[in-house]
C-alpha cells in the first residue's frame, strides 16, 4: 500500500505541474500580448507599458512562471485588477458558496441515483424496466439550464407556482445566517442533484450488472440469501469501488453544470467569478483561479483513487 501511495502522490504532483504549465501557457498563447488584452485594445500605449512592467510581463517566460509558482506556494495568488483585493481572499469567499453547493448536489444525486439504480436491476416486468430506463435517459438528457429554469418556475419566489424558495442570490453575510444561506442553495443543489443523479443511476446499474456477471451474487443467493438481499448486501458492497470512481468522474462533469447554475441563480461562487474575470480580462486572477480549480479536481481524483484501492482488497496484490 505504501508503495502505491508514494507512486500515486508522485503522479499527482506530476499532474499538478503539467496543469500549471498548461494554464500558464494557454493564457500567453494569445494573438497580441497579455498586457494589451488586459489593458483593453483601445488603451494608450503608456498604460499598456505600465501594466506590463507592473505585472512583470516583460520578463522571460520562465522567470514569470517561477514567480507565479513561488507566489502560489506562499498563498499569494495575485491581486484582482478590478478591486485590488488579493485573489486568495476573493476566491475563499466564493468557495464558501460553490463547495457546499457541489457537496449538497452530490448528496442529492447519490440519494436519488443509487436506490433507483438498484431498483432498475431488480425490476421484474418489462414495463417497470422501461420506466426506469426512461427516467435515467431523460434525466441525463436535460440541459442544466433548462432544469434550473423549470425548478425556478415551479418553486422560485417571485415567479413560481409554489413560491417557497429563493430563486436567486446569496445572503450578504454568508453562512452567519445558516438558514437563509442553506435555503438559497436548495433549488440550485436540487438542479445539480437531479441531473447528476441520472448519471449515477446509470453507473450504479451497470456496476451492479458487472458484479452480477461474476457470479458472486448468485453464490450468495445459493447460500440462502433472497435476490434482494444478495443485491443490496453483496452486490452493492462489491460495486462500491466502481461507484467511488464514478463519483470522482461525475465531480468533473458537475463543474460545467455548476457554473451554469451559479450564473442562473445569481450565486457569486467560483464558477461565476471565473466567467466574470474572463469577461473583464482580469487574466492574472483567471490564471490562479483556473489553476486552483484544476488542482481541486486533481485532489478529488487522488482521494477517489486511494479510496477505491482501500475498498477493494484484490488490488492490494498486484503492482497496480
Sorted by sequence, the CB contacts under 8 Å of residue 26 that are 6+ apart come out as none
Q: Which residues, listed in sequence order, are joined to residue 79 by a DSSP beta bridge?
A: 86
Residues 6+ apart with CB under 8 A from 313: none
Ordered DSSP codes for 69-85: HHHHHTT---B-TTT--
**Alpha carbon distance 313, 200 (integer Å):** 24
- State which of residues 54, 172, 313, 319 lies at the interface with another protein (CB under 8 A): 313
Residue 234 near another protein by CB under 8 A: yes
Q: How far is the CB of 175 from another protein (least distance, A)?
A: 26
Q: Does 312 bind another protein (CB under 8 A)?
A: yes
For another protein, the binding residues in 192-221 under the rule CB under 8 A are 213-216, 218-221
61 in contact with another protein (CB under 8 A)? no
Q: Is 286 in the site for another protein (CB under 8 A)?
A: yes
Residues 256-275 that bind another protein (CB under 8 A): 256-257, 259-260, 263-264, 274-275
Q: Does 92 bind another protein (CB under 8 A)?
A: no
φ and ψ of 265, to 5 deg: -90, 10
Closest distance of CB 249 from another protein, Å:
9
Looking at residues 5 to 34 of the shown chain, list those that interact with another protein (rule: CB under 8 A).
11, 14-15, 18-19, 23, 26-27, 29-31
Instruction: For the CB of residue 102, give the shortest distance to another protein in the complex, in Å.
Output: 12
Evaluate whether 289 touches 18 at the Cβ level (below 8 Å): no
Which of 234, 286, 254, 242 shows the shortest CA–CA distance to 189? 254
Q: Is 142 in the site for another protein (CB under 8 A)?
A: yes
- For the beta carbon of residue 275, count every other beta carbon within 10 angstroms: 15
Q: What's the closest the beta carbon of residue 170 comes to another protein, in angstroms?
A: 19
Binding another protein (rule: CB under 8 A), the pick from 150, 164, 303, 310 is 150
Q: How far apart are the first and last CA of the chain?
A: 10
Name the DSSP class of 28.
T
> Across the strands, what pairs with 86?
79
* Region of 47-55, 66-74, 90-98, 231-239 interacting with another protein (CB under 8 A): 231-239
Using the contact rule CB under 8 A, the part of the chain among 84-92, 110-118, 178-186, 223-231 near another protein is 223-231
Query: CA-CA distance, 279 to 297, in Å (whole number)?
Result: 24
Q: Which residue's CB is nearer to another protein, number 19 or number 181?
A: 19
Q: With CB under 8 A as the contact rule, which of the stretches 51-59, 65-73, 104-112, 149-157 interacts with another protein?
A: 149-157
**Nearer residue to another protein within complex by CB, 154 or 181:** 154
Q: Could you give the CA distance from residue 169 to residue 149 in angstroms, rounded to a whole number?
A: 15
| Residue where the block lists cell 503539467 | 18
Task: Determine the distance from the C-alpha atom of residue 19 to the mean position of all C-alpha atoms in its chain, rounded to a whole number.
Answer: 16
Nearer CB in complex with another protein: 48/241: 241
Amino acid at each position: 500500500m505504501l508503495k502505491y501511495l508514494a507512486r500515486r502522490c508522485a503522479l499527482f504532483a506530476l499532474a499538478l505541474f503539467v496543469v500549471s504549465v498548461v494554464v500558464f501557457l494557454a493564457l500567453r498563447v494569445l494573438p497580441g500580448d497579455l498586457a494589451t488584452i488586459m489593458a483593453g485594445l483601445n488603451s494608450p500605449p503608456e498604460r499598456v507599458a505600465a501594466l506590463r512592467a507592473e505585472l512583470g510581463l516583460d520578463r522571460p517566460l520562465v522567470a514569470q512562471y517561477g514567480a507565479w509558482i513561488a507566489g502560489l506556494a506562499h498563498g499569494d495568488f495575485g491581486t484582482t485588477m478590478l478591486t485590488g483585493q488579493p485573489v486568495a481572499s476573493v476566491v475563499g469567499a466564493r468557495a464558501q458558496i460553490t463547495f457546499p453547493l457541489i457537496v449538497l448536489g452530490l448528496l442529492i444525486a447519490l440519494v436519488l441515483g443509487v436506490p433507483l439504480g438498484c431498483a432498475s436491476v431488480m425490476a421484474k416486468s418489462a414495463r417497470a424496466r422501461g420506466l426506469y430506463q426512461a427516467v435515467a435517459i431523460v434525466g441525463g438528457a436535460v440541459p442544466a439550464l433548462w432544469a434550473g429554469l423549470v425548478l425556478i418556475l415551479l418553486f422560485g419566489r417571485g415567479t413560481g407556482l409554489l413560491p417557497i424558495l429563493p430563486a436567486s442570490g446569496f445572503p450578504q453575510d454568508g453562512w452567519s445566517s445558516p438558514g437563509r444561506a442553506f435555503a438559497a442553495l436548495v433549488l440550485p443543489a436540487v438542479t445539480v442533484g437531479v441531473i447528476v443523479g441520472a448519471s449515477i443511476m446509470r453507473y450504479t446499474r451497470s456496476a451492479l450488472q458487472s458484479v452480477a456477471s461474476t457470479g458472486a451474487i448468485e453464490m450468495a443467493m445459493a447460500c440462502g440469501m433472497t435476490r434482494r438481499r444478495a443485491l443490496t448486501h453483496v452486490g452493492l458492497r462489491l460495486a462500491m469501488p466502481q461507484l467511488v470512481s464514478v463519483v470522482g468522474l461525475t465531480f468533473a462533469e458537475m463543474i460545467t453544470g455548476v457554473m451554469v447554475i451559479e450564473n442562473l441563480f445569481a450565486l457569486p461562487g467560483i464558477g461565476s467569478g471565473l466567467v466574470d474575470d474572463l469577461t473583464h480580462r482580469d487574466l492574472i486572477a483567471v490564471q490562479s483561479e483556473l489553476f486552483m480549480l484544476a488542482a481541486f479536481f486533481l485532489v478529488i481524483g487522488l482521494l477517489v483513487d486511494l479510496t477505491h484501492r482501500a475498498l477493494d482488497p484484490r488490488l492490494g496484490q498486484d503492482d497496480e
